[in-house]
């Protein structure tokens, strides 16, 4: 670990692998790009604009409406972007702790809800080298979803409390009914959403929290280079990791034959898998153990996966 940090500080990127001749340490040098703050600022501004436009559309949609922050465009914007940014900062903190070269967090804009998108594709950090050990790889991967998960809970509770009951006939244009919902989202709805006859009309803030929890599950799928894929790769070899990725895709495809909403998860998992060609190089110093931090990260991963798992509704 200390060797990794020293080499990184000297501008060298180490790669330790076992061969038939014993352990081999390779050093890679590369020129880092200049400051990306301007690029990050432009992407952030575009994302804020698209997400606000989406929130404005939700806040002013025809039909019954609530009042207050949870029903404002800012409710949707903050409820969506704050947990996503905190998610990436969770990764970034661990990267800084272990000296893992990486970019700054970037917000990625997308067309607004009016065009069938969300206003954003989330946020990303580009890894410029591999984390040093299996334990650090697992910790880096789980810390993002954990941070974002904890951040979204208060938004979800506030959004649920502000949601309203309405009759199906009052929903102009036939508002879309949720087909699946994360386990935690359903639990919070049972506690905090209004109860009675009629349908629950989610506030924009509650809807943003729903999206964040679904995105968290997507990141936790044990596929390729997703956060869940990183965690699995920290504990198993590349061949086993590839087999688990393929099995996950097959399970999602099978589930989609019964619950069509799962086809979206299967499609995204396949896309991520084929973009990476099913490969994951593992940690830089791969011949070290998982350690206590890695074991704890795997336990946390199981809890998060269960709490964000999509449950069919109806």
**Which residues does the chain have with pLDDT short of 50?**
174
Q: What is the pLDDT of residue 35?
A: 58
- Say if pTM beats, i.e. exceeds, 0.75: yes
End-to-end CA distance of the chain: 51
Encoded tokens for 241: 């990791």
Q: What is the pLDDT of residue 187?
A: 96
Q: What is the pLDDT of residue 184?
A: 97
Q: What is the pLDDT of residue 277?
A: 87
d(CA 314, CA 312): 7
Q: What is the pLDDT of residue 3?
A: 67
Q: What is the pLDDT of residue 297?
A: 96
């Amino acid at each position: 670990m200390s060797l990794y940090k020293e080499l990184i500080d000297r501008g060298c990127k180490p790669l330790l692998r076992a061969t038939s001749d014993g352990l081999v340490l390779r050093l890679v040098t590369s020129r880092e790009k200049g400051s990306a703050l301007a690029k990050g600022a432009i992407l952030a501004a575009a994302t804020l604009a698209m997400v606000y436009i989406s929130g404005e559309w939700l806040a002013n949609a025809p039909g019954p409406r609530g009042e207050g922050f949870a029903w404002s465009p800012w409710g949707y914007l903050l409820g969506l972007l704050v947990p996503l940014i905190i998610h990436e900062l969770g990764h970034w903190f661990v990267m800084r702790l272990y000296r893992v070269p990486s970019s700054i967090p970037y917000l990625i804009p997308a067309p607004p809800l009016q065009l069938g998108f969300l206003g954003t594709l989330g946020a990303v950090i580009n890894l410029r080298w591999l984390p040093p050990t299996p334990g650090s790889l697992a910790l880096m991967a789980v810390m993002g979803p954990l941070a974002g998960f904890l951040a979204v809970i208060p938004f979800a509770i506030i959004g649920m409390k502000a949601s309203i009951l309405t009759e199906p006939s009052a929903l102009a244009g036939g508002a879309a009914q949720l087909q699946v919902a994360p386990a935690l989202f359903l639990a919070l709805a049972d506690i905090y959403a209004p109860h009675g006859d009629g349908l629950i009309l989610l506030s924009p803030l509650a809807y943003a929290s729903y999206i964040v929890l679904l995105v968290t599950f997507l990141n936790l799928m044990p596929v390729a280079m997703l956060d869940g894929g990183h965690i699995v790769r920290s504990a198993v070899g590349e061949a086993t990791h590839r087999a688990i990725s393929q099995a996950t895709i097959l399970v999602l495809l099978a589930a989609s034959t019964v619950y069509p909403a799962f086809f979206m998860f299967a499609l995204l998992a396949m896309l991520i898998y084929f973009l990476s060609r099913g490969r994951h190089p593992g940690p830089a110093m791969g011949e070290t153990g998982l350690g206590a931090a890695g074991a704890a990260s795997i336990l946390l991963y199981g809890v998060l996966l269960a709490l964000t798992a999509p449950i069919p509704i109806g």
